[in-house]
Amino acid sequence: MRTEARIPPEIAWLDLCSMAQVQLLPRDLELPLDLRLPRVGAVDSVALEARAGELAKRSIKRGSKLAALDLAIRMMDLTTLEGADTPGKVSALCAKAMRPDPADPSIPSVAAVCVYPNLVAVAKRRLAGSGVRVASVATAFPSGQSPIDVKLADVREAVVLGADEIDMVIDRGAFLSGRYAKVVDEIVRVKEACGSTHLKVILETGELGTYDNVRRASLLAIAAGADFIKTSTGKISPAATLPVTLCMLEVIRDVHDETGRIIGMKPAGGIRTAKQAIQYLCVLNETLGAAWMTPEVFRFGASSLLNDVLMQIRKQKTGIYQSGDYFTLD
């Protein structure tokens, strides 16, 4: 087990461009960044928000709405991340994840259940054989304010307990003070600790302040080995927004153009209604296209979205809105 930092933290990282020159990064790392400035690129907030606003106004009806809602369920990481979580609550959530609507067997199961490391084993047992994966948050979630050894231990433990996917948080303190190397180094080592386990990197965009920062953090996370980039922990407001998601999807698109790598995206937090979910799918569909319209590379991190989606599906199928009492609260 190595604990020494691979990149001397005292190196002054003036900007992202200089990153590409540094030989200290792992050799097999595919850097989407090189010395051509536009490839790091900037984001214009006014135009970005205008585009997101335009896509949010897409009018999705009938069959295309049902298809979207079905996909939204299959893309869902059903989440509970509370201090008050118990094995019983997680068990109930798992039941819901596998069979979201007991009254309608055509409803698919969700993509994954997302819990704290302590509850991974419970979830794993409960979901065995269902195809629903277990995602665990780690690296001193949600603040990330712990020594690297603690974070790595957190990750290894979650992996040993059976997590299929790890959702880590980046060190925002390091990022915001310009210590990009530390951020990269941590992600690289977490990725190592994950082994073959899928790694989602949470940027906590609500703390990053600008879309330029979101773009840079996305590129850093991808360069360091993220399989997915994720907006938020859900513990900070604002969590996921349409413009921030669009911004990250544009990074994913650029990385794919440059390297051919396919990176996944997970907006999380604040997505509560079927209407919002459809707006995200419109942004995804018109930014990255059909290849990304699959749970393999797009997830919703949500706790209360599922019931609204179920309600809308029932409305589409029967023409009648049911009261909330007809959908289970878990």
Q: Which residues lie closer than 8 Å to 67 by C-beta, 6 or more apart?
A: none
Instruction: Give the residue with the Cβ less far from other proteins, 60 or 140.
Output: 60
Member of 90, 170, 265, 281 binding other proteins (CB under 8 A): 281
DSSP E strand boundaries for 182-227: 198-202
Q: Does 155 bind other proteins (CB under 8 A)?
A: no
Q: Does 62 bind other proteins (CB under 8 A)?
A: yes
Measured from the CB of residue 29, what is the shortest distance to other proteins in angstroms? 22
DSSP 257-268: HHH----EEE-B
Member of 91, 192, 296, 315 binding other proteins (CB under 8 A): 296
Member of 50, 317, 322, 324 binding other proteins (CB under 8 A): 50
| Helix, strand or coil, per DSSP, at residue 61 | coil
Measured from the CB of residue 24, what is the shortest distance to other proteins in angstroms? 28
Measured from the CB of residue 194, what is the shortest distance to other proteins in angstroms? 11
Instruction: Give the residue with the Cβ less far from other proteins, 1 or 46.
Output: 46
Q: Which residues lie closer than 8 Å to 214 by C-beta, 6 or more apart?
A: 43, 203, 205, 208, 244, 247, 248
- The b/e string for 77-116 (b: 16+ C-beta within 10 A; e otherwise) is bbbbbeeebeeebbbbbbbbbbbbbeeeeebbbbbbbbbb
Q: Which amino acid, residue 106? A: S
Measured from the CB of residue 203, what is the shortest distance to other proteins in angstroms? 18
Member of 128, 149, 238, 261 binding other proteins (CB under 8 A): 128
Q: How far is CA 106 from CA 102, 109, 126, 293, in A?
A: 10, 9, 21, 20
DSSP E strand boundaries for 27-85: 76-79
Handedness of CA 110, 56, 235, 143 (dihedral sign): positive
Which residues within the stretch 177-236 sit at the binding site for other proteins (CB under 8 A)?
A: 196-197
Cα 271 from Cα 274, distance rounded (Å): 8
Member of 185, 250, 308, 330 binding other proteins (CB under 8 A): 250
Q: Does 2 bind other proteins (CB under 8 A)?
A: no
Member of 14, 22, 35, 42 binding other proteins (CB under 8 A): 42
Member of 141, 175, 228, 292 binding other proteins (CB under 8 A): 292
Number of other residues whose CB lies within 10 A of the CB of residue 8: 10
Instruction: Give the residue with the Cβ less far from other proteins, 196 or 323.
Output: 196
Residues forming contacts to other proteins in the complex (CB under 8 A) are 36-38, 41-44, 46-48, 50-51, 57-65, 67-68, 71, 74, 111, 124-125, 127-128, 131-134, 161-162, 164, 196-197, 250, 257, 281, 285-286, 290-296
